[in-house]
């Protein structure tokens, strides 16, 4: 019986993972309506620090480890530890600070909605009209 | 009555109202100063001065070599204190103090250096300008050579091991400082073309107070250098070069009984190349550095070649294993007058090393490293008769370390 339950839980988690969708969201003031993977990586790696209108890009990270974070960084082609290493290099070289890490997806949503130039990510199901969705990662 | 006068002297009595006036005046000045400080504090809340840094503590065991017996030692290899402040939307100031080898001025241990103090203007990704004392962009590892938390090594590839600077010519191998640098990148599809150009002092820095100000270049020459690079996904490669003129051989002139200017301003050229690539859980990085000082009449040569290659594997997100090979080859041929001894020296240091690093926390990294080092020294006496002296030695280093960012 235990084996059946464990197998079912494993399958549900796999299916859950397959159906998870992550939305990349930004403050409504940002001058774009969509974003490419390479641009997103440039923002998160700190290579590009300004939007096309000259306003500052304020990148937000998610603290809890989980599917949302895993899917987002897999999309960028970097592991979370690789990204942390890039941010640490940037910080220790005086080139920029690591992004602020949000404690929850709810905090992410509130901060992005309240901070001009901010960009972050969370589960697609949690997006509301207070932010702009730039891209949705993962298939339905 | 004595309460109404401040007695500074019998003939110099100050009335009470003057004391009140002076006190009020001083209080107002103090209030003004406090307001100014509070105002500055409020401003600094918007762009606070950030103080952070990192250190690496190690335990190293060296087996015996040459005349040195086996030794074990704990060491605070390096501690860096960093100060950063954003001065405006595009301006940043940065200061880096570095303490090496258990630094203690009273005990005359190690060294304390002002490594960096610069202000940066960021116009765009295509153009950044740094002005002030800075570590110029050369090869890939040069950029982060002193950022121990970023490196899996305890003992870094020899050209970058600052704590060995007392016996390896680190400042000859790499350009350690410049004073103005422009850099940036140009995107082209998914590729990025990096560039950096800089200018600094040639290595002719005075440390003799009797000649005037120390720490300044005593010649009219400069260091010029730069790097061109390409980044494409997880591939990064680049070519670097510097040019300056070196006066360090001048001291030989007296011994060789020739005029000092004959051994001054010797052109020194450095070339560097770097390649790094990540694929799946593997990472590969390698570099070369070639330094050459050459002068005819009298003939003087000094060449340094350095190579390293590291293959690593991310066993897990936190655990990284690697193996690396380093080679430092140096050749020196000194000038000689007829009928005097002429010598050439060829020295090799070869290192095979293995290690691992483990991120206990985001900012705490444990490291372990084993290195097998081979020293080959060869002295050739060419005049008046040919003689060769060779010495060879092998030794091992085992090291444990903790690297902390705070």
* Per-residue pLDDT tens over the stretch A29-72: 999 999 999 999 999 999 999 999 989 999 999 988 888 998 99
pLDDT at B40: 46
pTM for the model: 0.82
- Report pLDDT for A57: 94
pLDDT in the model for residue B231: 96
> Cβ separation of B150 and A85 shorter than 8 Å?
yes
**Interface touch B144/A89, C-beta < 8 Å:** yes
pLDDT along chain B (406 residues), means of 10: 37 50 52 46 66 96 86 93 93 95 88 94 94 95 90 93 77 92 94 96 83 81 96 95 88 76 87 94 96 83 94 94 96 70 83 96 94 89 74 92 96
Q: B185–A77: do the CB atoms touch at under 8 Å?
A: no
Nearest-by-Cβ selection for A94 from B94, B192, B359: B94
**Interatomic CA distance for residues B55 and B68, integer angstroms:** 28
> Quick one: pLDDT at residue A78?
87
* pLDDT score at B301: 86
> ipTM greater than 0.85, yes or no?
no
Of the options 3.40.50.150, 3.40.1390.20, 3.30.420.40, 3.40.190.10, the CATH number for the domain spanning A21-137: 3.40.190.10
Nearest Cα of chain A lies from the Cα of B198 at a distance, in angstroms, of: 17
pLDDT score of A11? 54
Q: What is the mean pLDDT of residues A68-84?
A: 89
Nearest to A81 among B54, B89, B317 (CB): B317
Residues of chain A with pLDDT > 70, as a percent, come to 85
Beta carbons of B251 and B233 less than 8 angstroms apart = no
List residues in chain B touching A: CB distance below 8 A. Answer: 50, 52, 54, 82, 84, 89, 92, 94, 96, 116, 118, 120, 122, 124-125, 143-144, 147, 149-150, 185, 187, 190, 192, 233-234, 278, 314, 317-318, 359, 362-363, 405
Which residue, among A61, A129, A44, A131, has the nearest Cα to A101 in the 3D structure?
A61
* Predicted pLDDT of residue B66: 77
pLDDT at position B21, please? 57
Domain ranges of chain A: 21-137
């Amino acid at each position: 019986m235990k084996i059946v339950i464990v197998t079912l839980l494993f399958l549900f988690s796999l299916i859950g993972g397959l159906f998870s969708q992550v939305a990349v969201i930004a403050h409504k003031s940002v001058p774009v309506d969509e974003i490419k993977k390479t641009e997103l990586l440039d923002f998160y790696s700190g290579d590009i620090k300004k939007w096309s209108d000259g306003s500052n890009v304020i990148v937000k990270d998610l603290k809890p480890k989980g599917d949302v974070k895993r899917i987002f960084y897999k999309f960028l082609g970097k592991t979370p530890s690789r990204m942390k290493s890039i941010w640490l290099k940037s910080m220790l070289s005086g080139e920029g600070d690591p992004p602020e890490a949000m404690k929850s997806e709810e905090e992410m949503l509130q901060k992005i909605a309240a901070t001009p130039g901010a960009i972050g990510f969370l589960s697609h199901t949690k997006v509301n009209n207070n932010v702009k969705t730039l891209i949705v990662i993962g298939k339905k | 009555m004595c309460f109404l006068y401040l007695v500074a002297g019998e003939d110099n009595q100050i009335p009470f109202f003057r004391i009140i006036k002076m006190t009020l005046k001083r209080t107002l000045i103090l209030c003004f100063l406090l307001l100014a400080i509070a105002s500055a504090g409020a401003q600094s809340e918007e762009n606070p001065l950030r103080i952070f840094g990192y250190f690496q503590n190690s335990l190293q065991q060296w087996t015996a070599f040459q005349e040195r017996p086996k030794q074990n030692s704990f060491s605070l290899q390096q501690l860096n204190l960093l100060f950063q402040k954003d001065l405006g939307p595009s301006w940043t100031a940065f200061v880096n103090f570095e303490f090496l080898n258990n630094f203690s001025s009273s005990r005359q241990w190690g060294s304390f250096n002002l490594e960096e103090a610069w202000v940066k203007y960021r116009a765009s990704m295509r153009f950044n300008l740094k002005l002030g004392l800075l570590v110029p962009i050369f090869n890939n590892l040069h950029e982060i050579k002193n950022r121990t938390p970023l490196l899996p090594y305890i003992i870094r590839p020899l050209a970058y091991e600052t704590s060995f600077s007392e016996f390896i010519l680190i400042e000859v191998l790499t350009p350690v400082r410049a004073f103005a640098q422009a850099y940036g990148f140009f995107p082209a599809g998914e590729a990025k073309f990096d560039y950096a150009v800089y200018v600094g002092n040639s290595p002719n820095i005075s440390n003799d107070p009797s000649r005037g100000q120390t720490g300044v270049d005593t010649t009219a020459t400069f260091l010029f250098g730069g790097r061109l690079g390409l980044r494409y996904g997880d591939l990064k490669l680049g070519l670097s070069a510097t040019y300056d003129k070196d006066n360090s051989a001048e001291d030989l002139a007296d011994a060789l009984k020739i005029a000092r200017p004959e051994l001054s301003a010797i052109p020194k050229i450095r070339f560097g190349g770097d390649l790094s690539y990540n694929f799946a859980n593997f990472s590969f990085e390698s570099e070369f550095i070639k330094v050459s000082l050459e002068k005819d009449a009298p003939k003087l040569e000094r060449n340094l070649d350095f190579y390293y290659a590291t293959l690593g594997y991310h066993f897990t997100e936190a655990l990284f294993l690697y193996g690396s090979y380093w080679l430092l080859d140096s050749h020196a041929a000194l000038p000689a007058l007829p009928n005097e001894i002429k010598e050439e020296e060829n020295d090799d240091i070869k290192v095979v090393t293995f290690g691992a690093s483990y991120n206990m926390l985001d900012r705490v990294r444990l490291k372990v490293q084993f290195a097998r080092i081979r020293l080959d020294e060869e002295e050739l006496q060419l005049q008046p008769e040919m003689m060769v002296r060779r010495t060879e030695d092998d030794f091992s280093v085992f090291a444990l370390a903790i690297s902390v960012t705070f």
